[in-house]
Amino acid sequence: MSLWRTLFRIPWHIIVLSLLLVAIGAMALYSASEGSWQPWAGRHAMRGAFGVGVVLVMAFVDFKILHRLSYFMLIAAIAVLVALLVIGSGPNVARWISIGGVSFQPSEPAKIAIILALARYFDSQPQDRMQSLIVYLPAIGMIAIPFLLVMKQPDLGTALMLLLGGLSVLFAAGLPWRYVGGAVIAALVAMPVLWSQLHAYQKSRVMTFLNPESDVLGAGYQIIQSKIALGSGGLFGKGFLMGSQSQLNYLPEKQTDFVFTMIGEEFGLVGNLFILALYLALSLSILRVSFLVRSRFSQLTCMGLSMMLFFYVFVNVAMVSGMLPVVGAPLPLISYGGTSMLTVFIGLGIVTSILIHDRQED
pLDDT at residue 241, rounded to an integer: 84
Q: How sure is the predictor about 323, in pLDDT bands with cuts at 50, 70 and 90?
A: confident
- pLDDT for 359: 67
pLDDT classification of 213: cutoffs 50, 70, 90: low
Residues 6 or more apart whose CB falls under 8 angstroms from that of 236 comprise: 267, 268, 269, 270, 271
Q: Phi and psi of 139, rounded to 5°?
A: -65, -40
Mean pLDDT of 319-331: 83
Rounded CA separation 11/356 (Å) = 9
Over the stretch 262-296, which tens digit does the pLDDT of each residue have? 999 999 999 999 999 999 999 999 999 999 998 99
Per-residue pLDDT tens digits for 140-175: 999 999 998 888 877 778 888 888 889 999 988 888
Mean pLDDT of the chain: 85
- Which amino acid appears at position 192 of this protein? P
Max CA separation in the chain (angstroms): 63
Q: Could you give the angle at the alpha carbon of 286 between the alpha carbons of 281 and 290, nearest 5°?
A: 135
